[in-house]
Amino acid sequence: MQQITSPATPIVSLRDVQKSFGPLRVLDGVSFAVERGEVLAVIGRSGSGKSTALRCIDRFEKIDCGEIIVCGHRVDLPDVDLRALRQDVGIVFQSYNLFPHLTIEQNITLAPCSVKRMSASRAKELAHKVLAQVGLEEKLHAYPEQLSGGQQQRAAIARSLAMQPKVMLFDEVTSALDPELTAEVLKVIEQLARDGMTMVMVTHEMGFAKGIADRIVFMHRGKVHETGSASILTSPKTPELVQFVGTGNLKS
């Protein structure tokens, strides 16, 4: 599969994506694209399909029809090289999913060493660097359970960064955290945005989405219901988005 990397080509593009779980149509013709360096926030009620859309990008879900191209990989085709795709895409989950039997350093060096065949010493340097980026240098030798939720999530972000992905996906990464811990994780993501990382994030943090996102996608009943710059949150056009931002539906 050839890599298409001309600046005009989006890093991620979904075109008319459909996906059903049994009789339930979760994605009903979803299309959006993310340009290099862009931060896209996907918002919507629980069950609107936003997390599923995100998981389709990294092919944790197979789609029924439509087209998904991520960093030149045809994700919708059955013969997509998953390991190549996942080296280009970093994903961070709501439940952190650090490996509990490994130290933070080992969590971070595992993939660079086993997938990219990086030497142990170089991988350790890298671990140091990415942990510094998320402000956790001192936790190098701690086990995940010794960290707070916010620290675990920052370590998970560092683990993804160590693979030097071209795009990062964030799946409600602060939903399990209290406001204080949420703030420390959001600060890290903000810094990544300033550094020019391409990001797609599913989030319930409206204030944060407004502050950081170049573009917002509002999903409703498996469709992109409204999309535009962050200003759509303050002046929504569709009644559904009016209701969504109006009811203070920040958490669900």
CB of 154 to another protein, least distance (A): 15
Question: CB under 8 A: which stretch of 21-29, 84-92, 118-126, 199-207 binds another protein?
Answer: 84-92
Question: CB under 8 A: which stretch of 38-46, 99-107, 199-207, 233-241 binds another protein?
Answer: 99-107
Question: CB under 8 A: which stretch of 40-48, 110-118, 177-185, 236-244 binds another protein?
Answer: 110-118
Are 232 and 219 in contact by the 8 Å Cβ rule? The answer is no
CB of 51 to another protein, least distance (A): 12
Q: Does 111 bind another protein (CB under 8 A)?
A: yes
Helices and strands counted in the chain (H then E)? 8, 10
Closer Cβ to another protein, 69 or 155, answer by number: 155
CB of 87 to another protein, least distance (A): 5
- Spatial neighbors of 173 by CB under 8 A, at least 6 apart, are 92, 93, 94, 153, 156, 157, 185, 189, 201, 203
Question: CB under 8 A: which stretch of 29-37, 96-104, 210-218, 224-232 binds another protein?
Answer: 96-104
Find the binding residues for another protein in span 136-175 (CB under 8 A): 143, 145, 156, 159-160, 163
Q: Does 23 bind another protein (CB under 8 A)?
A: no
* H-assigned helices in 96-148: 104-114, 120-133
Q: CB burial class (10 A; 0-12, 13-18, 19+) of residue 247?
A: exposed
Among 29, 33, 35, 60, binds another protein (CB under 8 A): 60
Q: Does 45 bind another protein (CB under 8 A)?
A: no
- Spatial neighbors of 237 by CB under 8 A, at least 6 apart, are 226
CB of 176 to another protein, least distance (A): 12
Encode 134-157: b = buried (16+ Cβ within 10 Å), e = exposed.
Answer: bebeebbebbbeebebbbbbbbbb
Long-range CB pairs of 115-124, under 8 A, 24+ apart, other chains included: 115/83, 115/87, 115/163, 116/87, 116/163, 123/162
Question: CB under 8 A: which stretch of 13-21, 38-46, 102-110, 184-192 binds another protein?
Answer: 102-110
- On the CB side of 176, CA atoms within 13 Å amount to 14
Closer Cβ to another protein, 98 or 213, answer by number: 98
Calpha distance 14→53 (Å, rounded): 9
Closer Cβ to another protein, 30 or 169, answer by number: 169
Among 103, 109, 133, 153, binds another protein (CB under 8 A): 103
Q: Find the angle CA(104)-CA(109)-CA(110) to the nearest 5 degrees.
A: 100
Which residues lie near another protein (CB under 8 A)? 58, 60, 82-84, 86-87, 89-91, 93, 95, 97-103, 106, 110-111, 114-115, 143, 145, 156, 159-160, 163
